[in-house]
Structure 1
Amino acid sequence: MTTLRQPYYELSPEVYSALVQAKNALEKSTLDLTLMELIYLRVSQNKWLCILPGDAQ
């Protein structure tokens, strides 16, 4: 059975938009690439946690 996932931007456009904004801000900064990736990873984890059912953390 093959099931395609629904794109994230359709499931929660507000959260996806916030992630894109964070990524764009990081790309404009003077931070090291490794640090930017760690920040982006952490931000993406926090954003998705806030939309999980039952406020799971």
Structure 2
Amino acid sequence: MKVLVAVKRVVDYNVKVRVKADNSGVDLANVKMSMNPFCEIAVEEAVRLKEKGVATEIVVV
């Protein structure tokens, strides 16, 4: 069985987020990004399935 895991990049939770001067969104310049913590859990579970022999291939998108 192939396992597909969708991963989302988000602003690191340790970083203080700043709003753009024109209030049109978040200022992403020089901001550290990381993997969504829930996506990390999904990747870990996919690896566990592969180690158990349930999954044959893991695809992370």
The answer to whether the superposition gives a TM-score over 0.5 is no
Specify the TM-score bucket, using the shorter chain as the normaliser. 0.3 to 0.5
Higher relative contact order (CA 8 A, sep 6+): 2
More helix by share: 1
**Bigger radius of gyration among the two:** 2
**TM-score normalised according to structure 1 size:** 0.35
More strand by share: 2
**TM-score normalised according to structure 2 size:** 0.33
